[in-house]
Every structure is written in C-alpha cells, then in structure tokens.
Amino acid sequence: MLNYFIIKNIRKYLTQDATQILVLSLVILHLDITMLNCLEFQKVSYELQKFQRIQNMCAKLVLQRGKYDGYKDSLFELHWLPIKARINFKILCTMYNCFIGNVPVYLTELLHKPVLKRPNLRSAEDMDYCFALPIIKTKTFNDISVSTVGPTLWNKLPLYIKQSSSTEMVKTNDKTYFRDLYALF
C-alpha cells in the first residue's frame, strides 16, 4: 500500500502508460502474491473486498479519476479483471498448463482424467477436455485445494477455451470470458 501513495505523490509527473506500469509492477503484483490464489478462493468476502478496494484505487489513479468517480468504468477501460475473476483466471491458466503437461509432475499427479462408463456417446468427446473431481466426504481443506477448485472451474469453461492451441490464446479467451461474465460485478 505504501507504493500506492508514493506513486500517487509523483503521478502528476508521469504519463498514463508509465503510471500503469508502475502500478502493475509495484502494487498489483504485490496483491497477486498476497492473494495466494487458491487459498484466497474461499476467503470471506470481506477479505476480498479489501483487495478490490486497493485495485479500484489503483485504477482511478492510473486514469486520474476523482475520489467519487465510479471504479467500474476505470477497471473496464484498463482491461483489468476484478479480484475474484483475477483469482479464477490465474487458477485456470495453471489448469491449462496442467492439461497440456507444461507444469511440474507433482501438480499433474493431483489431477485425473474422468473414467468414462460409456465412451461411445457424443458427450464423451467433451469429456476429453475435463478433469475428474475428487470425492470429498467431509468439509475440509480439500474443498479449497488445487485438486478440487481447479477442476471445478476448468470443467465449467466453454469448450472453445479448453481447445485453444496455445497458452496465449487461453489467456486471451479466458480474460474475455471473465470480462463478459463479470461485466456487471
């Protein structure tokens, strides 16, 4: 948060692009590290609101908006996802890398392909792009683990995103998907 105030003090000497680079590298990056993606996924909304307020202030700082101006337009104009969508976006990027085998072995060992009882059905083609959800009998920390949250989010994605040919295409499609999904956040 200290970096935000330092950037705010020198904002009048910076261009919008320079301010955006500083905010992204000093404040938003720190938010990303602090959120601890999967662990924050199930955090209470009050904790996520703190992160969202910081992101809103940063967006208004970059665009030189006033204190009482709306933040939604600022986030939309900068193409920044809200905090909840940002967490989901990062989890899904990791899931895509797991799907193509571009991650360490210990992550791929946590995820499994679903076992099909009737592989000749048309719906079986879509299951090639899904992960099996683990069976959880009691509510524990497994509910917020990568092996549970990741496949849940991945299986909800539209097929065209799962079938993307590269990581960059997935990121672009994911971001557009979440931007449309959270347009009215």
List, as own/partner pairs, every contact residues 47-53 make where C-beta atoms lie below 8 angstroms and the sequence separation is at least 24, other chains included: 48/83, 48/84, 51/83, 52/82, 52/83, 52/84
52-82 per-position pLDDT tens digit: 899 999 999 999 998 888 888 898 899 888 8
Place of tokens 């208004």: 60
> 4-55 pLDDT, tens per residue?
889 999 999 999 999 999 999 999 888 877 765 445 555 566 778 888 899 9
- The enclosing H or E element of 93 equals helix 83-100
Q: How far apart are CA 84 and CA 23, in angstroms?
A: 19
120-125: long-range contacts at Cβ-Cβ below 8 A with a sequence spacing of 24 or more?
none
pTM of the model: 0.78
Domain ranges, ordered by start, for the chain? 2-80, 86-181
